[in-house]
A and B are shown apart, each in its own frame.
Chain A
Amino acid sequence: EVQMLESGGGLVQPGGSLRLSCEASGFTFSNYAVTWVRQAPGKGLDWVSTISGSGENTYYADSVKGRFTISRDNSKNTLYLQMTNLGAEDTARYFCAKLSNSWVVHDAFDLWGQGTTVTVSS
């Protein structure tokens, strides 16, 4: 089955760190760029970061640049998001998604996980 499955969310104190994971299955993971998108409670979608299939190229929203690091392990079909210096504004459901076509980094997101929730609070 083609799917993306996030994990690693939870409650973290302001200034803390957390690492999210996203395990992919059912397609050749290394051929596709993948991305993180978040959604604060009751709000819209907010793109966070994208990484190319090889992992060589990464892209970040200004709001997370310098605090979040995207990476991937193609041998484990897994995408990661290391989040540091978290603030209340980072509280959201975090979705991973796959780009539609192989070998590109600008494309629509055609396969989404169900998300994992991050809550930043003391």
Chain B
Amino acid sequence: EVVLTQSPGTLSLSPGERATLSCRASHNFGSSYLAWYQQKPGQAPRLLIYDASSRATGIPDRFSGTGSGTDFTLSISRLEPEDFAVYYCQHYGSSRTFGQGTRVEIK
């Protein structure tokens, strides 16, 4: 089973700043089956990135995903007020596991 560890647990930033979120896999799962989701309080998650670096439909280009092997990153180039939320990475191979989440909060 692939275990995903996200860091940091909480990121305190101001609107307009760049956010960099990390997702590390317990081992190289040999594919790009890595997604990122955004979740706001009381809402369902929303798909942002799939296949490690492809933006989902309707996702602004300030969101970008990079990485391969065991290290993956979600970047938000300039934080908008609506971007403050919790972000999860997910491996959707055999284990379909989620990371524990990173909260992006307003500083």
Contact = CB atoms under 8 A, between A and B. Distances in A.
B35 A109 contact: yes
Interface string A17-35: 0000000000000000001
5 contacts: A45-B37, A47-B96, A106-B94, A109-B92, A112-B44
Interface residues of A, number: 20
Interface string A92-122: 0001000010000011111011110000000
Given A108-B35, A108-B92, A47 B98 contact: yes
Interface residues of B, number: 24
A50 B96 contact: yes
B100 A44 contact: yes
Nearest to A95: B44
Contacts, number: 58
A46 B93 contact: no
B56 interface: yes
Interface of B: 33, 35, 37, 39, 43-47, 50-51, 56-57, 88, 90, 92-94, 96-101
User: How would you classify the secondary structure of chain A's contact residues: helix, strand, loop or mixed?
Assistant: strand
Nearest to B101: A44
Contacts of A100: 47, 50, 56
Contact of A47 (B47, B57, B97, B100): B97
Nearest to A115: B44
